Amino acid sequence: MSSTKRLKASELVMLVAGLLNLDVEFMARVGNLPVRNLRSWLAGKKENLRPQNIINLLTLLGLKVDKSISLDPERVHFWTIHDRTFGSSKKAYRALNALSKLMAGSMITEVVPQKRDRAMFRRHSHYLVMGEGVRVVITVHRGLFKRARVSPEVIKGAAWRDDNDHHAITTHKGLWTHLVERDLTTHEFDRMFHQKEAGTGWGDVSLMAREFGVTPGDVSAWMIATYGGATHEVPGEEEESGIDIDGGGQLFLLVGGAGRRAA
């Protein structure tokens, strides 16, 4: 299927659903739609779904409907390609090629962990596609003797992140685990793609809170108690407050009359 072809809404749904490994029954159940009506609409009968139902269905698949249709910029999209041993590679990548317009102007790179287990990579490849409002993770499950073909030749209008032979970046174990478990935040995606490991910002604090099991409620309660004037300080005395962390640990803060210091 050519990437220049103008897609119908039903074709768009089928392509994205295929990359998400979603079947018609699941989409109908989550979208609260009659399965028969959805099947009929996907077959080209426009009258079987109301416009609002179609918009809801596109939103379910991670597409934002405004004046045009685009990928939801507030989430990381996880797509999967199965290039089976005895299947057609051209057919396996057809959906990705047909959806090129959604990723036009983006950059592509393969991503691997810093310490590679060669047996683990024998049949799987992971790619990041990033652009304006675009964050896509593409996982390729390869058959025997197959190689991954995610490239600007398949995603028309995109380019490689790096101008070198391997077109790959590395990432540490923590982010790699989130990647393969399909549990990557937008901040984590950006850090991985831009290779940002140094410095601390609000996004990094959020990542640390997630790692140690600190909830937003824990943090807000501590901030109110510490900086909101909820307690009266007694000169010369210190009081302990802590934020519980999963696993039995605590983050302690000592608050004294001469000022506040972290320990």
Q: Give residue 18's domain range.
A: 1-71
Check residues 107 and 251 and name the one with the higher pLDDT: 107
In a domain, 79, yes or no: yes
Same domain for 66 and 152? no
Same domain for 12 and 66? yes
CA dihedral 101, 107, 110, 112 (to 10 degrees): -130
Same domain for 10 and 26? yes
Residue 7's pLDDT band, with cuts at 50, 70 and 90, is: confident
Query: Taking residues 228-252, what's their average pLDDT?
Result: 46
Query: Taking residues 140-144, what's their average pLDDT?
Result: 89
pLDDT at 232 over 50: no
Same domain for 59 and 172? no
In a domain, 204, yes or no: no
Answer with the one of 198, 222, 254 that is the final residue of a domain.
198
pLDDT at residue 231, rounded to an integer: 45
Tokens of 154: 């398949």
pLDDT at 219 over 80: yes
Whole-number Å distance between alpha carbons of 253 and 263: 6
Domain count, the chain: 3
In a domain, 207, yes or no: no
Same domain for 57 and 83? no
Query: Nearest-5° angle of CA 210, CA 211, CA 216?
Result: 25
Residue 208's pLDDT band, with cuts at 50, 70 and 90, is: confident
pLDDT at residue 120, rounded to an integer: 53
Answer with the one of 171, 198, 225 that is the final residue of a domain.
198
In a domain, 209, yes or no: no
Among 7-16, 37-46, 116-125, the range with the most confident prediction by mean pLDDT is: 7-16
Same domain for 128 and 244? no
Same domain for 87 and 182? yes
SS3 content of the chain, % helix, strand, coil (to 5): 35, 25, 40
Mean pLDDT of the chain: 82
Answer with the one of 198, 231, 246 that is the final residue of a domain.
198
pTM higher than 0.75: no
In a domain, 205, yes or no: no
pLDDT at 66 over 80: yes
pLDDT at 233 over 80: no
Same domain for 91 and 49? no
Residue 63: its H or E element: strand 63-65
Check residues 256 and 73 and name the one with the higher pLDDT: 73
> What phi and psi values does residue 179 have, to the nearest 5 degrees?
-65, -55
Whole-number Å distance between alpha carbons of 38 and 48: 7
pLDDT at 227 over 70: yes
With contact defined as beta carbons under 8 Å apart, do 70 and 136 qualify? no
In a domain, 169, yes or no: yes
Same domain for 255 and 160? no
Query: Taking residues 133-141, what's their average pLDDT?
Result: 96
In a domain, 144, yes or no: yes
With contact defined as beta carbons under 8 Å apart, do 170 and 111 qualify? yes
Same domain for 85 and 178? yes
Same domain for 191 and 220? no
pLDDT digits (tens, 9 = 90+) for 72-118: 999 999 999 999 989 899 999 999 999 999 999 999 999 988 876 54
In a domain, 234, yes or no: yes
pLDDT digits (tens, 9 = 90+) for 146-204: 888 999 999 999 999 998 888 999 988 888 999 999 999 999 999 999 988 645 567 77
Same domain for 61 and 79? no
What's the CATH number where 27 sits?
1.10.260
